[in-house]
Amino acid sequence: MMEINTKSKTEPLIKLEGIVKYYGDRLAVDGISFEVGKGEILGFLGPNGAGKTTTMRIITGYMPPTRGKVEVCGIDVLEKPVEAKKHIGYLPENPPVYSEMTVISYLKFVAKIKKVPKNKIKERIEFAIEKCGLKDVVKRIIGNLSRGYRQRVGIAQAIIHDPQVMIFDEPTVGLDPQQVVEIRNLIKDISKEKTVILSTHILSEVMKICNRVIIISNGRLVFSAYLDELEKIEGKNRRTNLIFSDRSKMERAKSIIQSNGVEISENERAISFIADREKRNEIIGKLLKENIIPDEITDEKPSLEEIYLKVVGGAHQE
């Protein structure tokens, strides 16, 4: 497995060191360590049961780890949980809203709980309503709102105290396509000014919103990279496509590639194979030495989906 760099490029606002969590005898999180830097938008990926939600609950101070240390904005979450929570906005998978309250009464209630200064409560509520597009529903009962609007209310409660760190756990689950786009755009807008952790199963969502990704599997961190560096990952197997107009050259190329222990797939005019950079260069060198020159060579960059399936095996975890 490739070396996993868990350090952030900017000043770290979130730091996890050796986080372990047991539920009884079951190990849910197994020694996870990473940083999230100021201004980063981290996509937090992994199969169901991999430990994502547990890790986020530990970061937010809603659950203590069995072992390990968490800091948010330089504050030890275990030693000073109340102080740390002032810097955290958290949207769990099920928004913590009270269905019988109106949107405006709920936001006033949340502002008081989160100790927003009295002289700033009105300003912060107006900001949250504007940012989350709630103007048309402020007087409506939350329980009567669509799921998309309830998510907006959940995001509003998470930003009302102006935290530096935002944590979203599956914010678009159960939404229709239009609602998904709306919530995704809202998170992108909020992330311009915040450090964000976004947990999701939707890889396209990560590609559109995030600039960095971490993948965990069976409670362990198995991959970490900035998205703009995926194509630079050394040792990652890549698919190479060779296109031929000359059928005889194509047959000779197949023979050489297979003699190097590499499996191929083919159609009428093309051969493709998957290999690391060293093996790929060796094969291309042999083809050129034998004067077998393809009409076209394309080297596909590794996609996030390929990396995800490789490191987690596509497994569902309990």
Strands 12-23 and 75-76 turn out to be: unpaired
How confident is the model at residue 232, as a pLDDT? 65
Tell me, rounded to whole angstroms, the distance of Cα 167 from its chain centroid: 11
Is residue 8's pLDDT more than 80?
Answer: yes
Phi, psi of 184 (to 5 degrees): -60, -45
Concatenating the DSSP letter of every residue in 53-100 gives HHHHHHHTTSS--SEEEEEETTEETTT-HHHHHTTEEEE-SS----TT
User: Which pLDDT belongs to residue 307?
Assistant: 83
Summarize pLDDT for 177-208 with one digit per residue, the tens: 898 899 999 998 998 889 999 998 888 889 88
At 223, the pLDDT band (50, 70, 90 cuts) reads very high
Residue 1 has pLDDT above 50, yes or no: no
Nearest to 239 by CA among 211, 259, 263, 207: 263
Over residues 34-57, the pLDDT tens digits come to: 999 999 999 999 998 999 999 999
Angle between the N-to-C axes of helices 247-259 and 277-289, in degrees from 0 to 180, rounded to the nearest 10: 130
Q: In the predicted model, what is the mean pLDDT of the chain?
A: 91
Question: For the whole model, what pTM was predicted?
Answer: 0.80
The pLDDT of residue 312 is 84
Domains assigned to the chain: 1-87+165-173+193-231 (3.40.50.300), 238-301 (3.30.70)
Round to whole Å and give the CA distance between 54 and 141: 31
**Residue 258 scores a pLDDT above 80:** yes
- Give the number of other Cβ atoms within 10 Å of residue 71's Cβ: 20
What is the per-residue pLDDT for 280? Answer: 87
Q: What is the mean pLDDT of residues 255-266?
A: 91
Q: Is the pLDDT of residue 231 over 80?
A: no
What pLDDT score was predicted for residue 44? 96
Q: How many CB atoms lie within 10 A of CB 119?
A: 7
Of all residues in the chain, what percent carry a pLDDT higher than 90?
Answer: 71
Query: DSSP letter at 301?
Result: P
